[in-house]
Amino acid sequence: MKQKSRLAGPDKLPFYMPKGTKVDNLYQKLKGQGKSVASAAKIAQSVTGLALATGKPPKSKFTPSKLVK
């Protein structure tokens, strides 16, 4: 069975993106000002510090150097 893609289109974000979060509000305003989807997402995430897909701060990536002191 072929699995459905989570994306609605090539330039669409995942459908589970929460609405009404700070990052989503800023994203919508930037898109309304004529920014591209990718540019608006990048700016909104960097300004708010929240992930556009979840509305929460992104998890830090694991680095082995943190284990070695």
- The amino acid at residue 20 is G
The pTM of this model reads 0.63
Q: What is the pLDDT along the chain (69 residues), one digit of tens a residue?
A: 555 555 444 455 555 678 888 999 999 999 999 999 999 999 999 999 998 888 888 877 766 666 655
- Give the three-state DSSP class for 22: helix
What's residue 46's pLDDT? 92
Domain ranges of the chain: 13-53
Residue 15 is classified by DSSP as: T
| Exposed/middle/buried for residue 55 (C-beta within 10 Å: 0-12, 13-18, 19+) | middle
Measured from the Cβ of residue 18, the count of other Cβ atoms closer than 10 Å reads 14
Strand partners, 7: 14
Alpha-carbon gap, residue 10 to 63, rounded angstroms: 31
